[in-house]
Amino acid sequence: MAISPPTDLGALGDLEHHLAKLIVDSLRLEVAPEDIDPKAALFGDGLGLDSIDMLEIALAVSKRYGVELRSENRAALASLQALAAHIAQRRTS
């Protein structure tokens, strides 16, 4: 069964904002959630997060949205926008 992409871009933008706050809070970043560019890379040159941060994000996302992120889902962690789209397609809560 194929999963359709979200059609409500406003809801996706809201999800991006909530995810930015979740990431900032979970990792105790010294950046405001609204300062995170949804299209910028989360790792490497973007926010500069590392593999430990990835594990923390995966745990927080799993607890909050019921979506598991695994190594094969690495593309979902490419950016805030990609993560929001991935969660919107799969979340249970």
Per-residue pLDDT at 11 exceeds 70: no
Multiple choice CATH, 9-90, 3.40.50.2300, 1.10.1200.10, 3.30.70.870, 3.40.50.1370: 1.10.1200.10
**Rounded CA gap, 50 and 43, in Å?**
6
Question: What pLDDT is stored for residue 72 in this prediction?
Answer: 75
**pLDDT value at residue 91:** 75
CB 38 within 8 A of CB 47: no
Q: Which residue has the higher pLDDT, 76 or 46?
A: 76
For the chain, the C-alpha Rg in angstroms (whole number) is 12
The overall pTM is greater than 0.95 = no
Q: What are residue 79's phi and psi, to 5 degrees? A: -155, 170
Give the domain ranges of the chain: 9-90
pLDDT tens readout for residues 19-73: 999 999 999 999 999 999 999 999 888 888 998 999 999 999 999 999 988 877 7
